[in-house]
Chains A and B, each alone.
Chain A
Amino acid sequence: MVNKWIKRIYTAMMFIFLYAPIAVLIVFSFNDSKSTAKWEGFTFEWYQALFDNSYIMKSLYYTILVALVSAALATLIGTFAAFGIYYMKVWKQKLVLNVNSIPMLNPDIVTGVSLMTLFVAMNIQLGLMTMIIAHVTFNIPYVVLSVLPKFRQMPGELMEAALDLGATPWYAFKKVILPEIKPGIITGALIAFTLSIDDFVISFFTTGSGVSNLSIAIYSMARRGIKPEINALSTLMFGSVLVLLLIINKRTKIEDI
């Protein structure tokens, strides 16, 4: 019995630790004062300020744009890559997968500075394009690794069977293989999208020309101290994460039934 209570208290303390900072941000996003020193009444002023802040709004636009484009590209390249890798000779497969895992294992900062070095040495102007390339680069490995297992789970020589029956390779890929690997593609695309939305370090080193994503915007504002607009932004982001999770939760439940 005592044991049970210890567990409950421990769990409660953990959740307090995890949520207290977020709760503080949410509460102070409605505070009618610039400081977090004391509560001075309720206001929506900071939400207004947030939407009026063109820097944050532009960063939000770039964040979503980069996430969509890089996730789509990474999924496309990664899916075909998994298809190719699946049919490779074993030693080749091992080699490719080892290279594939480099961006996942390497510290972000090393990936970031190495890409920046490449772009600068090639005299490519840093900006939206370089940021998208960087995002595709760190997204592809995850797509490959979520699609590849689906090929491995595929029953036998499906592709061969289809080809024997007279299908063109492209037709066989589309009608036979694609449905089998679809769940892997979707997972891969989702992972890529989330990683891209959340990235700071690699974007920080590979962007320029006034293009910044939300993480960079938050970083440069946070370095200058407490900004109530960021509190408002946190509240909105936390809200959308919750809504997203509820939707996913509901969907999986329906699928369970």
Chain B
Amino acid sequence: MLKKIASGPYLVWILLFILIPILMIAFFGMVRIDPETGNYFFTSDNFKRVFEGVYLSVWTRSIFIALKATFICLVLGYPMAMILSRMDVKYRTIAVMLFVVPMWMNFLLRTYAWMTILGKNGVLNKILTFFGLPQMTFLYSEGAVLLGMVYNFLPFMVLPIYTVLSKMDNGLIEAAEDLGANKFNSFRKVILPLSIPGIVSGISMVFMPAVSTFVISNLLYGGQYMLIGNLIEQQFLVVNDWHFGSAISIILMIIILLTMAIMNHLSGNDPEDGGANLW
């Protein structure tokens, strides 16, 4: 009996606050209100508009900058994860912990920090002036947004790769080297393939928040750089077009869930574990 009712409150909760809200925005995305009668009518206009002209360029911009951020995180993060995983156990715990500490700081404070550094009168420009170099505009540029993304999401790339690498059997690498593989080949043929699950989960953990953020672009590129997140925020909070906003949200959700499913499939993860392996 207890077994049956134990999950009751939970089932009600996820029905009410997970399933129904999503069904609601799906519905809102498919309808508009007739200004004459005030009634809903079904239309595909909202979804069509999501892929039209200027909005299409918002999608490509968002996806491109998220891909760039993911790529940079991978290039910077993989060597870091390798170094961490090879460290002497004595220092390793502390090094990994030091790597995690900034992540525990509030996300907004981390982004805000770059505002003080990149501003016209910020620290970076002060350093430039000190060396007699001309001042530059760092803040309010695409570079600033990219930097903000890399800074905030880098640990999400390093940690999963690190976890996989540190669990890897060192015997395998030694065996490969004994069999005559040089360092490069043992990396290419042994280490890299075995670390794919880590890479895959790192990529999805960076790409997903990067593609949907509106905070980083708002703070570091003052309002004229629109990503998908900003577009959704604007539709819901400023323009008051919830139908269009809902349609964009649904498309974003579908894209993300599809990428996740593909990613999970690639790395051979059991989708049932969902994000549990992240921790």
Contacts and interface: CB of A to CB of B under 8 A. Distances in A.
B257 A105 contact: yes
A25 B121 contact: no
B116 A25 contact: yes
A22 B212 contact: no
A117 B113 contact: no
Given A10-B80, A146-B276, A201-B215, A249 B97 contact: yes
Nearest to B22: A114
B156 interface: no
Contacts of B80: 10-11, 14
Contact of A117 (B25, B99, B208): B25
Contacts of B160: none
Contacts, number: 240
Interface stretch (B101-109, B168-176, B186-194): B101-109
B261 to A, nearest CB: 9
Contact of B109 (A11, A104, A233): A233
9 contacts: A25-B116, A36-B119, A99-B14, A101-B275, A118-B24, A134-B17, A142-B279, A218-B106, A230-B112
B51 interface: no
Nearest to B245: A113
A22 B113 contact: yes
B275 A109 contact: no
Nearest to B183: A3
A40 B26 CA distance: 55
Contacts of A91: none
B98 interface: yes
B92 to A, nearest CB: 12
A81 B10 CA distance: 6
A117 B28 contact: yes
Given A28-B116, A84-B10, A107-B212, 10 more contacts: A10-B80, A36-B119, A36-B122, A80-B9, A133-B17, A146-B279, A218-B106, A226-B115, A231-B116, A242-B101
Interface stretch (B32-40, B41-49, B246-254): B246-254
A234 B10 contact: no
A169 B108 CA distance: 47
Contacts of B233: 109
B114 A118 contact: no
Question: Across chains A and B, which 4 residue pairs bring their CB atoms closest together, nearest first?
Answer: A84-B7, A81-B10, A101-B274, A21-B113
Contacts of B104: 194, 241, 244-245
B24 A114 contact: yes
Contacts of B95: 11
Contacts of B90: none
Nearest to A253: B93
Nearest to A18: B102
Determine chain A's interface SS by DSSP, over half rule. helix
Interface string A170-203: 1001000000000000010001001000101100
A83 interface: yes
A250 interface: no
A81 B7 contact: yes
Contacts of A218: 106, 108-109, 112
Contacts of A83: 2-3, 6-7
A114 B249 contact: yes
Interface of A: 7, 10-11, 14-15, 17-22, 24-25, 28, 35-38, 77-78, 80-81, 83-85, 87-88, 94, 96-111, 113-118, 121, 133-134, 136-137, 140-142, 144-146, 149, 159, 169-170, 173, 187, 191, 194, 198, 200-201, 205, 214-215, 218-219, 222-223, 225-226, 230-231, 233-234, 237-238, 241-242, 244-245, 249
Contacts of A84: 3-8, 10
A81 B15 CA distance: 13
B10 A36 contact: no
Given A140-B13, A140-B14, A200 B253 contact: no
Contacts of A222: 108, 111-112, 115, 219
B123 interface: yes
Interface in B249-279: 249, 252-253, 256-257, 260, 271-276, 279
B63 interface: no
A20 B121 CA distance: 17
Contact of A102 (B22, B117, B121, B276): B22
Contact of B25 (A14, A19, A114): A114
Nearest to B259: A105
Given A24-B113, A25-B113, A219 B108 contact: yes
